[in-house]
Amino acid sequence: MTLPVPTTHFTDPTVLVTLVGPDQSGVTTRLFEAVSAHDVEVIDVEQLVVRGKLILSTLLSAPDDVTALEHTVTEVAEGFGLQSTVEHGTGDNRPRRVGRARVIVLGSPLRPAALAALAAEIRRLGGNIDRIIRMARYPITAIRLEVSGADPDLLQADLAAVAYEHGIDLAVREAGIGEHAQRLVVMDVDSTLIQGEVIEMIAAHAGYEVEVAAVTDRAMRGEIDFADSLHQRVALLAGVPLTALDDVYRSLEYTPGARTLIRTLKRLGYKFALVSGGFTHLIDRMADELGIDYHAANELEVVDGHLTGRLVGTVVDRAGKAEALRTFADHAGIPVKNTVAIGDGANDLDMLAASGLGIAFNAKPVVRDQARTSVNVPYLDAIVYLLGITREEIEAADAAD
């Protein structure tokens, strides 16, 4: 099979036609109908509408009579009350520079000073912002900067400091075909998928909620070993009736946006897993309710309908969460580099590091400092913006259902 060869080369003369003004029906059609009377090739086209204002640019090969083309463009523009420019150049259709990345910025609010600082840092790193696209306008503002010419790893490292200074969140993803691959999302449960800590809710039935909460907080900050802390806390649950777990389950509140996140990504073929330091009695039911594909958690020992204060089997601790991620990825046939991990505590750090995209969600400082990406807004579905999905696309899919 012989592929067609472009007739316009990088060194050939070109003209860049730009129309700007109030958006209205028929502009694009009329422009290309009119310029078709000239012997030109369309090399590139970009069109944007912002708050009713149209910006339409097309790069054309230069015709023999450029003056006639300029006259045609002027007539089209004047017919719609638009401003027009025709710029002469050479080629200008080269591939974008190496080091292509997408920088996703989340703000609530997103202020001009933050964007100015990000743009300045991108420029300092040798990058160029080729395009800016809005991903969402509520309940947070999310935008995507398409950047070329800068190393994505350097962007991630240096822009993180700018984001922290200005109170915004961001993620840097290397642009490429891998963006479109099927993914596995692995989530922590307590204070991530749900609000609050399950073990503290169970402890309330035993009268030890304050004591358990204190140990939980130290473990999540990484001050004490998670497995040791878990055994200490579970021991305080001895004698709690198993029926108390039913009460706890009925009282659970999912994090805002949790169902939207799962519903949206499962439409696209994503797989989901829950990996929790919590307990199977509750995680199994959550997985069934939400349509989760895989899950792993700790098992409480029960005798005569009451908790004994002991665990059964191996503890799902910090190392166990990372191993579960790798196991689930293998079962799903998805490369580990195509996994997304979401967590908030120190026991999630190995899992976040092992994944392709580790996201610290409203996390403890020790976790935010070590995770590559941090999200500090209270909406779990903000994660979809980091994966390139817009709020409008989510709403359209929900409406279609």
Query: Nearest to residue 142, comparing CAs of 391, 346, 311?
Result: 391
E strands, 162-266, are 169-174, 184-187
DSSP of 82-130: -EEEEEEEE---PPPPS--EEEEEEETT--HHHHHHHHHHHHHTT-EEE
**What angle (nearest 5°) sits at the alpha carbon of residue 48, between those of residues 143 and 131?**
45
What does the DSSP 8-state code read for residue 57? E
317 is catalytic: no
Per-residue tokens: 330:
């293998």
284 is catalytic: no
Distance CA 325, CA 143 (A): 29
Helix (H) or strand (E) run with residue 375 in it:
strand 373-375
Name the catalytic one among 169, 190, 348, 350.
190
Instruction: Report the first-to-last Cα separation within the chain, whole angstroms.
Output: 42
Phi (first) and psi of residue 42, to 5 degrees: -80, 120
Name the catalytic one among 188, 317, 348, 381.
188
Per-residue tokens: 59:
């790069």
Buried b / exposed e across 110-146, counting CB within 10 Å, b at 16+? beeebbebbbebbeebebebeeeeebbeeebbbbbbb
Q: Which sign, positive or negative, has the C-alpha torsion 121, 125, 131, 136?
A: negative
- Residues assigned a catalytic role: 188, 190
